[in-house]
Every structure is written in C-alpha cells, then in structure tokens.
Amino acid sequence: MMQVHGIAAFDDNYIWAIQGENGKVAIVDPGDADPVLSYLQETGQQAVAILITHKHYDHVGGIADLKENYPDAVVYGPAGEPIQGLDYRLKAGDKVIIPGLQFRPEIMEVPGHTEGHIAYFGDGALFCGDTLFACGCGRVFSGTMAQLHRSLDKISELPGETLVYCAHEYTLDNIGFAKWVEPDNADLIQREDQVRAARQQQLPTVPSTLDLELRTNPFLRAHVQRVINAAEHYAGHSLDTDEAVFTVLRQWKDRDYD
C-alpha cells in the first residue's frame, strides 16, 4: 500500500504527498509552496510530479515556486480549467504514469464545485480536491448542482474501501449539518464521537473511507428515505428526483448552516 503524508497548509487545507521510490514524491494541490518545501527538505525527498484537481488559489498557488525548486517536476491538471503552468491537461479516463511512483491514477471528471474539476483515482485512493469532503461536499461555484450531484454519484460507485483524500479538514463542522439532516443516524453519531476525539488531539480526520461516507454523508444519501423526508420538510414540497433532493440539501447548508 502506498504511503501518503498530509501537509497542513493555510487554516484547514491538506496538501497530499504521495511517496514513491528513492524519495520521489507527487504533490497534490499545493496551494502554498512553503510548507511543502519545508516538508521535502526535512525528509530529504524531491517532488517529481504535481497533481492539480481544480483552479482555486488554495490548490494551485504553490505551483510556480515548487517548479522553481524542482524544475523537473511534471505538472498535471484538468483540461477544462484555466490554470497556468500545467504540462499535461487531463481528461476522463487518462492514466498518469509517474516514473518512480507506484500510484498510477486514472482521471475522473467530477465537475460541480468548479466547471472542470478532476479527481485522481488509483491504488485504492481517491484524491478528490473540493468535490467530496468528509461528511460533506464542496459548494457549487463555477459548476452546477446537477454536475456536482452526478460527480458524487460517480464517486459513490468506487469500491467501498477506497480511501478518500479530500483537500480540507472540515469534518467536524460538516457533521453538524449532517445531524440536522439525519439526527438519528447511528453511524453518524458514532462518527461524531471519533472525529471529536481526533480533533481534540489535533489529529487529521482525513482520509476517510468511501464506505463511511456512504453511511454518514448526506450528500451521498439523496436516495435514502430519511434524507428525502428531511429535504422535503425543508423545501416545503415533495422532491421527485435524487438530484432535486441533493440540490435542496446543498442550498439548505449554504443558506442556513454555513
């Protein structure tokens, strides 16, 4: 199993460092170069690749500085977004092969948070940027609700044991909203206890597993009767499709919770 190290950045970002052979590392979403450079220098590793999920500054801001320090690092990112400094622009189904790395991710297009967001899936791990969060999902900025719903559906079909490496430590806050939707979900209540304990010790709550997300994350549960009931109650009318339920959940969180 490959080793992945989380580098904390800004207030609540995780920049993921995927370890390969002989100190070779791929860096996912380096919003800030400084903590990445410190980590690489302290551990005697070099960046050989940079994997970008989407265009937001807290995911791309460190590309130029990292390139300056590691000129041979190859920069991968989405074909559908305006990002400077990409060597390869990736589309659904593309496979990324990085010399020295066992991780050979396949590209998934997961628009919604942004219009061209991609995720990297391989070796039992999903690097999904701001699409799926632990017990939540990204806001809809430059994509659409329908896109984000479809993207999360696609992710839901991956194996349950998939490790979900999202880009922010939002879990405890997200659980608060999830409990508005499903106050009686026993898996969710148990998850809250575990997440609270981890955060008290300043431990990360990411990665999670897809299976845990399917049991506790309301945004992957728009087909579950309890979730449908809660969304219909909030909306004040019946909701005929999973997409309509998902959209109401996202609007509910945006308007009343965040």
Tokens of 37: 């450079």
| Residue 31 beta carbon to Fe ion: minimum distance, rounded to whole angstroms | 7
Reduced DSSP (H G I as helix, E B as strand, rest coil) percent helix, strand, coil of the chain, to 5: 40, 20, 40
Q: Are 222 and 239 in contact (CB under 8 A)?
A: no
Sheet holding 163-166, edge to edge: 106-109, 118-122, 125-129, 163-166, 208-209
Q: Where are the beta strands (DSSP E) in 172-248?
A: 208-209
| Residue 60 beta carbon to Zn ion: minimum distance, rounded to whole angstroms | 10
The amino acid at residue 204 is: P
29: left (phi over 0), alpha (psi -120 to 50) or beta: left
**DSSP summary character for residue 193:** H
| Residue 134 beta carbon to Fe ion: minimum distance, rounded to whole angstroms | 14
Residues of the shown chain interacting with Zn ion in the complex, contacts defined by CB under 5 A: 56, 130
Which is nearer to Zn ion, 141 or 180 (by Cβ)?
Answer: 141
109 contacts Fe ion (rule: CB under 5 A):
no
169 contacts Fe ion (rule: CB under 5 A):
no
Among Fe ion, Zn ion, none, partner that 117 touches (CB below 5 to 8 angstroms by kind): none
Which is nearer to Fe ion, 9 or 244 (by Cβ)?
Answer: 9
130 contacts Fe ion (rule: CB under 5 A):
yes
Task: Identify which range of 58-66, 108-116, 117-125, 196-204 contacts Fe ion by CB under 5 A.
Answer: 58-66
Q: Are 234 and 244 in contact (CB under 8 A)?
A: no
User: How many other β-carbons are positioned within 10 Å of the β-carbon of residue 183?
Assistant: 11
Among Zn ion, Fe ion, none, partner that 191 touches (CB below 5 to 8 angstroms by kind): none
Which is nearer to Zn ion, 56 or 250 (by Cβ)?
Answer: 56
Which is nearer to Zn ion, 10 or 180 (by Cβ)?
Answer: 10
| Residue 141 beta carbon to Zn ion: minimum distance, rounded to whole angstroms | 7
How far is the first Cα of the chain from the last one, in angstroms, to the nearest whole number? 37
Q: Are 196 and 172 in contact (CB under 8 A)?
A: yes
Which is nearer to Zn ion, 56 or 191 (by Cβ)?
Answer: 56
Binding Fe ion by CB under 5 A: which of 15, 32, 39, 58? 58
Task: Identify which range of 18-26, 127-135, 184-192, 245-253 contacts Fe ion by CB under 5 A.
Answer: 127-135
**DSSP summary character for residue 225:** H
Among Zn ion, Fe ion, none, partner that 81 touches (CB below 5 to 8 angstroms by kind): none
Residues that bind Fe ion (CB under 5 A): 58, 130
